Amino acid sequence: MLILRKLVLVNVVLILFYISGCSSANYATYHKSQDIDFSFIKKVAVMPLKNLTDEDSAGEIVRQLIISELLASGLVDVEVPGEVLSAVNDLGIKSLTTLTNQQIIAIGKYLKVQAVIIGSVQEYGHVRFGSISAPEVTISLFMADTGTGDIIWSVTKTRGGASFMTRHFGAKSDTMSETVLTVVREAIDTLAEY
Amino acid sequence: MIKSTTRKLHLLSSLVLISFALLTLLISGCSNRVKQYTNPEINIIDVQKVAVLPLDNLTSHKYADKKIVGVLIMDLLSRGIDVIEPGEVNATLRIRRVQSSTSLPVTTIKEIGESLKVDAVIFGSVSTFEMQKGITVSYPEASIYLTMIDVRSGDIIWSAWHTSGGASFWTRHFGSEGATLDETARVVVKEVFDTLF
């Protein structure tokens, strides 16, 4: 009976551990075209992201993180950001965040990339939960095939808030940078699932 | 009597077990390993002399970029890598009217590298460099993005994004003095270069 009680106690602790983990509010939705062979994509260009937050640099921070994570993942090569800017200037593209099919195809031909990544940063900052403030990040990314201009991958990822263990037991909470890193890494991971 | 003592002992051992599990959970937190890209076709030993271009400052701290560049240069020199004087780099960039190092096309990067007679150039940005207010304490946070380009080929040799900081277990629970912002900056630079050299 005592052994059983002890086992129950240990299990409760373990369940708490697994439930709390390292994540808090954490949602992702993504789509990948089933009729596209992603292995043909060798090099991509990451376009500047639309920044829908109050943080001026949020778009550029997330963009650089996407470039770093794509390279580190080994999935694809990434065009140097300066080359992307040159292409945009030379092709006379005014709005970087709303590209037409023809512009996507033109960028692909100019930079010799098989896909471009576009998207937006919707949340980037601290939110308050009663007396606690915690980081919150939400991003949406799209990959367009430069052969056709069609969207072949899209993901929306959000993460934020203080976890159960942080709120009640003072466990370490993620910093803003750790939160954005996790959001981007998990978004890129959905691309790796092919 | 014996039965009661045994029950108390079991209860005590259970409490110790729970406390130990919770303590481990609190101490551990979530570790943050550097995930980086290294070009397999380029031997890093061939990189003996580099130029560190001014970083883009994406923080609200006015001098974050300059402080991190100083730490980068110190760290590279301590690893036996020759680094071009920042004044020399700035003069070269001024001639070419360069505003931002992260928006440079490869041809310009190669020209700058050849002009400075270096094997590679490093550029990037500082995305966080500040003291953050946590739930009960303040803590330092620094995040950097770095890319190294081979001057001869124009290819990316290495790229990494890394962050360091946050309140430690002892700071959160016992109010002990945590790392300063400058110490955190040195840690983030050291950890990111440890993956390369």
ipTM of the modeled complex: 0.76
Q: Report the alpha-carbon angle A27-A64-B93, nearest 5.
A: 165
Closest residue on chain B to A8 (Cα): B14
Write down the pLDDT at residue A24: 45
Higher-confidence position of B93 and A170? B93
Query: From the list B17, B25, B125, which residue is nearest A165 (CB)?
Result: B25
Overall domain count for chain B: 1
Question: Closest partner residue to B7 among A2, A174, A178, by Cβ?
Answer: A2
- Report whether pLDDT(A66) > 80: yes
Q: Name the residue among A72, A80, A172 with its Cβ closest to that of B36.
A: A72
pTM value?
0.81
Percent of chain A with pLDDT over 90: 55
Asked, for residue B29, whether it belongs to a domain, the answer is: no
Q: Is A176 on the interface with B (CB under 8 A)?
A: yes
Residues 6+ positions from B177 with CB-CB distance below 8 Å: B171
In sequence order, the 6+-apart residues with CB closer than 8 A to the CB of B54 are B65, B66, B69, B86, B89, B90, B93, B101
Beta strands A77-78 and A43-46, pairing class: parallel
The C-alpha atoms of residue A47 and residue A85 are separated, in whole angstroms, by 8
* pLDDT band with cut points at 50, 70 and 90 for residue A10: confident
How many CB atoms are located within 10 Å of the residue A160 CB? 23
- From B112's Cα to the closest Cα of chain A, the distance in A is 14
Residue type, B18: I
Which chain B residues are within 8 Å of A166, Cβ to Cβ? Answer: 135
Lowest model confidence (mean pLDDT) among A3-7, A37-41, B128-132: A3-7
CA distances B115 to A82, A171, B75, B109, B146, Å, are 19, 51, 24, 10, 21
Residue A144 near residue A151, CB atoms below 8 Å = yes
Burial class (CB in 10 A: 0-12, 13-18, 19+), B180: exposed
Does the CB of A42 have a partner CB in chain B at under 8 Å? no
Closest partner residue to B127 among A2, A57, A169, by Cβ? Answer: A57
* Residue B63, in any domain of the structure: yes
Q: Which CATH superfamily hosts domain A24-192? A: ABC-type transport auxiliary lipoprotein component (3.40.50.10610)
**Per-residue pLDDT for A99 more than 50?**
yes
Residue B6 lies in a domain: no
Mean pLDDT along residues A52-66? 94
pLDDT of residue A84: 93
The 3-state DSSP class for residue B164 equals: strand
Q: Which of A15, A47, A61 to mutate to test the interface with B (most CBs of B within 10 A)?
A: A61
Average pLDDT of the residues in A60-86: 93
Higher pLDDT, B57 or A94: B57
DSSP letter (8 states) at residue A183 = H
Among A55-64, B38-47, B185-194, the range scoring the smallest mean pLDDT is: B38-47
* Paired strand residues for B138: B133
Domain boundaries, chain A: 24-192
A150 touches chain B (CB under 8 A): no
Asked if the structure places residue B167 within a domain, the reply is yes
**Residue located via tokens 């190294």:** B148
Output the average pLDDT for chain A: 84
**What per-residue confidence (pLDDT) applies to B10?**
76
Does residue B11 lie within any of the structural domains? no
The token pair that represents B177 in the structure block: 């003095």
- Is the residue at B19 inside a domain? no
Mean pLDDT of B141-152: 93
Average pLDDT of chain B, as a whole number: 85
Judge whether residue B112 has pLDDT over 90.
yes
Q: Is pLDDT above 60 for B122? A: yes
Least confident of A34-48, A81-95, B147-161, B165-179: B165-179
Which residues, at least 6 apart from B75, have a Cβ–Cβ distance to it below 8 Å?
A: B186, B189, B190, B193
Closest chain B residue to A132 measured between Cα atoms?
B135
What pLDDT shows up at residue B15? 74
- Chain A positions in Cβ-Cβ contact with residue B159 (cut-off 8 Å): 67-68, 71-72
- Give CA–CA dist A79/A66, Å, rounded: 12
CA distances from B43 to B38, B116, B120, B196 (A): 10, 21, 12, 11
Would you say A166 and B135 are in contact if contact means Cβ atoms under 8 Å apart? yes
| Percentage of residues of chain A with pLDDT beyond 70 | 80
Q: How does A37-61 read in b/e, with b if 16+ C-beta sit within 10 Å?
A: ebeebeebbbbbbbbebeeebbbbb
Whether the pLDDT of residue A166 is over 70: the answer is no
pLDDT at A27: 56
Name the pairing type of β-strands A115-129 and A132-145: antiparallel
Higher-scoring residue by pLDDT: A188, A32: A188
Q: For residue B154, count CB atoms less than 10 angstroms from its CB and return exposed for 0-12, middle for 13-18, buried for 19 or more.
A: middle
pLDDT at A2: 66
Q: Is residue B25 part of a domain?
A: no
Q: Give the residue-averaged pLDDT of A11-38.
A: 66
Mean pLDDT of the region B181-196? 92
- How far is Cα A61 from Cα A68, in angstroms, rounded to an integer? 11
Range of the domain at B160: 34-194
Q: Which residues share a beta bridge with B146?
A: B124, B160
- Could B14 and A6 be called an inter-chain contact, meaning their C-beta atoms sit closer than 8 Å? yes
Domain presence at residue B173: yes
Residue A23's pLDDT is 47
Between CA A181 and CA A193 the distance in angstroms is: 19
CATH label of the domain that carries residue B49: 3.40.50.10610
On the question of pLDDT at A13 being above 70, the answer is: no
